[in-house]
Amino acid sequence: MTPLLCSAPAKINLALEVQGILPDGYHELDTIFCWLELEDLLDVRPSAKTELIIQDEIGQGAEVVPDERNLVMKALRSLEDLVGRELPTRLRLIKRIPAGGGLGGGSADAAAALLGVVRAHDLPLQPADLLKLAARLGADVAFGLEGGTARGRGRGELLSPLPSPPDLPVLLLIPHFPLSTPEVYDCWDRLPEEVRRPGRGSAERVVAALSKGRAQDLLRSTGNDLEAAAEALRPELSELRRRMLQAGCAQARLCGSGSTLFGLLEPSCNPEPVATRLKDLGHVLCTRFRGSPR
């Protein structure tokens, strides 16, 4: 039984196409995930009793709770249910990814918890067992198990690996308001057909750009169908995207269901002055892709 420090990277969706509504109300996606260098860390060690400690490095306050509502605890409980016994574990979550912004921080933490608890307690589980648990914990958790760069279909859990993107600076603009994922999807359901799919074809374009490995192709390929819904709920998002382009980003898109926006810069562009121009619009972070899997 070994203590472990597990990485839980944030993700962005280089493409996100909503293809329809599934019978259970979830949405069928064709999306391209890519990990970022920005990460949470989860320290996992077997212990006499289970506890979750949050080390909040970015002042998120009540957003991240150290109790059974946290996806880290849900991941531990799902493993206990599967193996039919308690797995007393001390979990210390070092939180750096802003919560509720579409960067997949909670899902990343859950994936790290699944991998960390399995290894710390030497559980004889197969990758397929973990994938099943992950898909039940949330649509993005399966991606967090392998990470890197991958195409996600179904609810986002049917994954196939892709080549890493070219090394570009990535800026994150976290606006002062959050967006709720279910509300953004509900809003998409009510959009008129003609404005529903602005990102149509982006998944195929991004796959082609990644296989050629050309930054210029990638910069022209990204798309996100949820932008139309998020901008209907928060019209200021389209203005923020415009300001990111004006400030020097070659491309600006919504992260997942928002409200965070990511900007991609030309490979040779220094991100610092661009970040400075954006700092009055929200919290700005500079990061890069982390395109290789675990």
Catalytic residues: 11, 140
| C-alpha–C-alpha distance, residues 254 and 106, integer Å | 18
**Minimum CB–partner distance for residue 162 and ligand C5P (Å):** 19
Only one of the segments 52-60, 179-187, 207-215, 228-236 lies at the binding site for ligand C5P (rule: CB under 6 A); that segment is 179-187
**Interface positions, 11-50, toward ligand C5P (CB under 6 A):** 26-27, 29
DSSP 225: T
**Interface positions, 202-261, toward ligand C5P (CB under 6 A):** none
Strands 158-161 and 149-154: antiparallel
Count of residues near ligand C5P by CB under 6 A: 11
> Of 129, 181, 277, 283, which one interacts with ligand C5P (CB under 6 A)?
181
Residue 59 interacts with ligand C5P (CB under 6 A): yes or no:
no
Beta strands in the chain (DSSP E): 4-21, 27-46, 51-56, 89-95, 149-154, 158-161, 169-174, 223-224, 251-254, 261-264, 283-288
User: Of 172 and 187, which CB lies nearer to ligand C5P in the complex structure?
Assistant: 187
Only one of the segments 36-44, 61-69, 138-146, 170-178 lies at the binding site for ligand C5P (rule: CB under 6 A); that segment is 138-146
User: Of 144 and 148, which CB lies nearer to ligand C5P in the complex structure?
Assistant: 144
> Of 124, 182, 192, 235, which one interacts with ligand C5P (CB under 6 A)?
182
DSSP state letters, 81-147:
HHHTS---EEEEEEE-SPTTSSS-HHHHHHHHHHHHHHHHTT----HHHHHHHHHHH-TTHHHHHH-
- Nearest to residue 157, comparing CAs of 133, 126, 125? 133
Q: Is 79 exposed, middle or buried (0-12, 13-18, 19+ CB in 10 A)?
A: buried
User: Of 164 and 181, which CB lies nearer to ligand C5P in the complex structure?
Assistant: 181
**Interface positions, 144-173, toward ligand C5P (CB under 6 A):** 155-156
**Minimum CB–partner distance for residue 106 and ligand C5P (Å):** 8
Strand, coil or helix: what is 29? strand
Binding site for ligand C5P (CB under 6 A): 26-27, 29, 138-140, 155-156, 181-182, 185
